[in-house]
């Protein structure tokens, strides 16, 4: 790869910021909204996993169970996830976008945003998930948000499900393992596309669909982890994605439906060929999902894996034709860091990379991870790409009403340079960049406020205490300058 000569971004490059309803919106039990799977999660920390609270309707016993990657929930007999009196649930509050959306959108406009990534909370539109008719009050809230964005000429990028499946669909159907959920999602998509076709051009189906193996409940409402359950749920999501693209074409083909993938370049720890084989295998944990949702086919390596693991998909005659004919039109992806693997320690998901620094939460700070990812995905699919999440989670300090977050400016500057190189040196077609958590919101992984990504500080602590006042950080003014100069002033 040749070195850069200059930074240039296309005039129509969509600079902006990203959030998710379950981490930002709040109003968790207002406006007719039902509970979504994240609402019953407590706060956690770097060292304490988030807990899912439950109740036993027979014995009235209540308790907590850990959310553990690639494992089933340890729920007692007859227990089900539920809110407990006196517990704090970060998702129910977010940082109150629900009541402060005008103030926040004005801040986004002040920075010069062209795009605003957010999610519609599925449980605000269909509180139980399987109703025939949507919740009108929920639809009106998003109408008001889209109208406010339009006032400033900011385009929405809307995630249809960002870890926000209605909890009832998980409890009563087992989430995406049940084929009927495909129909419920199609109904939801029809309502969104019909209602907002003139206000929203860009849609993403399922946030980080490839996280389903790590967090089957949060990603797909599947409480009992098994390779079979995850494969079946993923298949139903693929079919729902294809039906969503088909529906969009019927309602208004000017809209675009993208896939949303969590991606991390995986490096072999050494130049041993065995490390490279393992690195390819790990990258395929994510690429499988884009091969199907964007490439339109089930890759051979996954079919072989299913065969080895005894996974047998229940499919319907139309499924593979739908998947082939209606692939997503662009890829939105999150990329924060890279990983390192060694065939000598295959059980380790990630080894410390001696060439890279790490954040306070142990995430590698890799200035090249975006360029690497953009090239990998563009070479594989030749479709437009959008970095819909990138940013640095860090502890910030307020000093005399200021937040000097030079560390975040440095991280984002490297990200912008990496994207510029992919565009100018490698010819990758990049639609935009929406930095993650442009305003401080609760962390998905830990539920903390302490892990701040924002260019705007929010006065709230990990327990939800604070004024919720917004304060512009140094990075706010830096990003404002970057957008105004179209990426030439970094």
Instruction: Give the catalytic positions in this structure.
Output: 208, 389
Residue 291 Cβ vs ligand BGP, minimum distance, rounded to whole Å: 20
Q: Which of residues 207 and 418 has its CB atom nearest to ligand BGP in the complex?
A: 207
The yes or no reply on residue 443 touching ligand BGP (CB under 6 A) is yes
Contact 389, 436 (CB under 8 A): yes
Q: Which stretch binds ligand BGP (CB under 6 A): 62-70, 192-200, 221-229, 436-444?
A: 436-444
Whole-angstrom Cα distance, residue 15 to residue 434? 6
Residue 360 Cβ vs ligand BGP, minimum distance, rounded to whole Å: 11
Contact 23, 92 (CB under 8 A): no
Residue 119 Cβ vs ligand BGP, minimum distance, rounded to whole Å: 9
Whole-angstrom Cα distance, residue 298 to residue 100? 44
Residue 446 Cβ vs ligand BGP, minimum distance, rounded to whole Å: 6
Residue 335 Cβ vs ligand BGP, minimum distance, rounded to whole Å: 10
* Binding-site member from 33, 451, 452, 470 for ligand BGP (CB under 6 A): 451
Residue 260 Cβ vs ligand BGP, minimum distance, rounded to whole Å: 8
CB atoms closer than 10 angstroms to residue 127: 22
Q: Which stretch binds ligand BGP (CB under 6 A): 24-32, 235-243, 439-447, 461-469?
A: 439-447
The DSSP letter of residue 246 is H
Contact 255, 201 (CB under 8 A): yes
Q: Which two tokens stand for residue 355?
A: 């060439």
| Binding map of ligand BGP across residues 332-351, x = CB under 6 A, - = no contact | --x-----------------
The pair phi, psi for residue 378, each rounded to 5°, is: -70, -40
Angle 279-234-250 from CA coordinates, rounded to 5°:
120
The yes or no reply on residue 20 touching ligand BGP (CB under 6 A) is yes
The yes or no reply on residue 444 touching ligand BGP (CB under 6 A) is yes
Q: Which stretch binds ligand BGP (CB under 6 A): 30-38, 99-107, 232-240, 442-450?
A: 442-450
Total of residues contacting ligand BGP (CB under 6 A) = 14
Q: Which of residues 223 and 393 has its CB atom nearest to ligand BGP in the complex?
A: 393
Q: Which two tokens stand for residue 365?
A: 């700070």
Whole-angstrom Cα distance, residue 235 to residue 177? 9
Element spanning 279, H or E: helix 273-293
String of b and e for 334-344 (b: at least 16 CB within 10 Å)?
bbbbbbbbbbe
The yes or no reply on residue 393 touching ligand BGP (CB under 6 A) is yes
Q: Which stretch binds ligand BGP (CB under 6 A): 90-98, 185-193, 214-222, 437-445?
A: 437-445
* Binding-site member from 54, 386, 436, 479 for ligand BGP (CB under 6 A): 436
Distances (CA, A) of 435 to 68, 190, 391, 438, 455: 27, 29, 6, 6, 9
Which residue ranges make up the site for ligand BGP (CB under 6 A)? 20, 23, 207-208, 262, 334, 389, 393, 436, 443-446, 451
């Amino acid at each position: 790869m040749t070195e850069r000569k200059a930074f240039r971004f296309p005039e129509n490059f969509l600079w902006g910021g990203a959030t998710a309803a379950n981490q930002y919106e709040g109003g968790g039990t207002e406006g007719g909204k039902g509970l979504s799977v994240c609402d019953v999660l407590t706060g956690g920390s770097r060292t304490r996993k988030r807990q899912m609270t439950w109740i036993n309707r027979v014995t009235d016993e209540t308790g907590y169970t850990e959310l553990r990657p690639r494992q089933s929930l340890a729920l007692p007999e007859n227990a089900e996830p539920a809110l407990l009196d006196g517990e704090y649930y970060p998702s129910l509050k977010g940082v109150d976008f629900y009541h402060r959306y005008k103030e926040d959108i004005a801040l986004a406009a002040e920075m010069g945003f062209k795009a605003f990534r957010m999610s519609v909370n599925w449980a605000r539109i269909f509180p139980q998930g399987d109703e025939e008719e949507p919740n009108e009050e929920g639809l009106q809230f998003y109408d008001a948000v889209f109208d406010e964005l339009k006032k400033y000429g900011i385009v929405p990028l809307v995630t249809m499900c960002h870890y926000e499946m209605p909890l009832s669909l998980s409890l009563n159907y087992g989430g995406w393992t049940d084929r009927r959920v495909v129909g419920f999602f199609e109904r939801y998509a029809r309502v969104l596309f019909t209602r907002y076709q003139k206000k929203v051009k860009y849609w993403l189906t399922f946030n980080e669909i490839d996280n389903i193996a790590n967090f089957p409940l949060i990603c797909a409402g599947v409480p009992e982890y098994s390779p079979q359950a995850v494969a079946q749920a993923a298949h139903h999501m693929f079919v729902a994605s294809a039906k969503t693209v088909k529906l969009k074409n019927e309602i208004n083909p000017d809209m675009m439906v993208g896939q949303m993938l969590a991606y991390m370049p995986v490096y072999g720890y050494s130049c041993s060929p065995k490390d490279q084989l393992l690195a390819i295998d790990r990258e395929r944990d994510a690429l499988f999902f884009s091969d199907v949702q964007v490439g339109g086919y089930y890759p051979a390596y996954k079919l072989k894996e299913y065969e080895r693991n005894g996974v047998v998909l229940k499919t319907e005659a139309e499924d593979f034709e739908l998947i082939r004919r209606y692939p997503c039109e662009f890829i939105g992806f999150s990329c924060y860091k890279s990983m390192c693997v060694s065939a000598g320690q295959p059980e380790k998901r990630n080894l410390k990379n001696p060439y890279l620094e790490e954040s306070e939460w142990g995430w590698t700070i890799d200035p090249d991870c975006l360029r690497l990812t953009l090239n990998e995905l563009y070479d594989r699919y030749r479709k437009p790409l959008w970095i819909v999440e990138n940013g640095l989670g860090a502890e910030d300090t307020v000093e005399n009403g200021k937040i000097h977050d030079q560390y975040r400016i440095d991280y984002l500057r490297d990200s912008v340079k990496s994207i510029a190189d992919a565009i100018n040196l490698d010819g990758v077609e990049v639609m935009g960049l929406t930095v993650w958590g442009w305003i401080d919101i609760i962390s998905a992984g830990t539920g903390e406020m302490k892990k701040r990504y924002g260019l705007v500080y929010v006065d709230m602590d990990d327990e939800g205490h604070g004024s919720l006042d917004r304060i512009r950080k140094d990075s706010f003014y830096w990003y404002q300058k970057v957008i105004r100069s179209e990426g030439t002033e970094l």
